[in-house]
Structure 1
Amino acid sequence: MLEINPGVAIWTIITFLILVAILKKVAWKPIVDALTRREESIRKALEDAQRAREEAEKLMEENKRNLARAEEEVQKIIREGRETAERIRAEILERARKEADVMIERAKEEIERHREQAMLQLRAQVADLAIQVASKLIGEVLNEQKHKKLVEKYLQEISSEKRA
């Protein structure tokens, strides 16, 4: 059946050992060197990835801080804008009130001037009418000086009657 031939077994072992020696001399070192280089490149890639991840985390934290500062700055600008707008609005309202007060005061003065002019015109007309009536009643024509004295006298009497 199965017989072991010692000569073939020895030659097989010798051939195997020679092959291992040749492979060790020729192929083993380059294979181990390639595996070592590959292991080193993988380790370096992992370290680079770790550093990149840490750097990314630092950048994310910095971006969060910058975003928070930017948000604060935006809120500050908005707040200042509102305050400025409110101040300008108050100034405009105050100016408008002052201008309205000035216009009202001018209108009052103008009304008073017109009233005084109307009173003067009315007094002059009343004086003329009084002179005409007095002339007809007295039957004589008075000179201008006498007319004025007479009118003033009647006006004073009328004014004092109204006051009493």
Structure 2
Amino acid sequence: MTFVLAANLLAPNAGLIFWMVLALTILLTLLGKFAWPSIVGGIEERERRIETSLTEADRALAQAKQLQADNDSARRQSEQQAQAILREAREEAEALRSADVEKTRADLAEMKESARADIEREKRQALAELRAEVANLAVNGAEKILRQEIDAQTQSRLVNDFISELPQN
């Protein structure tokens, strides 16, 4: 008997086929009218959200890349500025050092020249004092020798002649 029932289930029955086709048609019509627009709308909404998310992700990625490029550019610019500042500082230090060296050399040259001038002045003064002393000694010696033979005016003339004959160093 079970075999007969199983055979009946597998055998096509026109009434059963009609009702199944009708039920399937009604189901598909109801699904198409009420459920399908919601399903399609949900799928389209999901697709739109996914596309929006992808667009926003692409925009965010582009912004991140731009920020990274800007940061790299700013970092390179900062490094260049730092190098320029260091180079300037080195150049200024070198200029100051050179200026100090030149000032020291100029001061030394000035000191040498001042010392030479002092030496020359002292030398002239010593020579003048020496001439005066020699003239005085000569006058005193000549005065003692010629005391009675020469008067004061002749003596003064002789001393002046003697002084003028001395070497002029």
Distance 2:77 2:144 in 1: 98
- Cα deviation code 1:20-51 (max 9, x no counterpart): 43334654444433332222111111111122
* Matching of residue 141 in structure 1 with residue 152 in structure 2: no
- Cα deviation code 1:131-153 (max 9, x no counterpart): 333345xxx223647x959xx8x
Structure with more contact order per residue of length (Cα contacts < 8 Å, sep ≥ 6): 2
Q: Helix, strand or coil: the match of 2:149?
A: coil
Match of 1:58 in 2: 69
Match of 1:46 in 2: 57
* Matching of residue 23 in structure 1 with residue 34 in structure 2: yes
Distance 1:60 1:67 in 2: 10
Number of residue pairs aligned between Structure 1 and Structure 2: 137
Distance 2:100 2:30 in 1: 99
| TM-score, normalising length: structure 1 | 0.65
Distance 1:45 1:64 in 2: 28
Distance 1:85 1:142 in 2: 73
- Amino acid across the alignment from 1:71: A
* Matching of residue 106 in structure 1 with residue 117 in structure 2: yes
Q: Indicate if the aligned counterparts of 1:135 and 1:141 stay in contact, CA closer than 8 A.
A: yes
Q: 1:59: how far off?
A: 2.4
Distance 1:63 1:26 in 2: 53
Output the aligned Cα RMSD.
Answer: 3.3
| TM-score, normalising length: structure 2 | 0.63
Match of 1:37 in 2: 48
Distance 2:122 2:89 in 1: 48
- Cα deviation code 1:67-125 (max 9, x no counterpart): 22222222211111111111111111111111111111111111111111111111222
* Matching of residue 95 in structure 1 with residue 106 in structure 2: yes
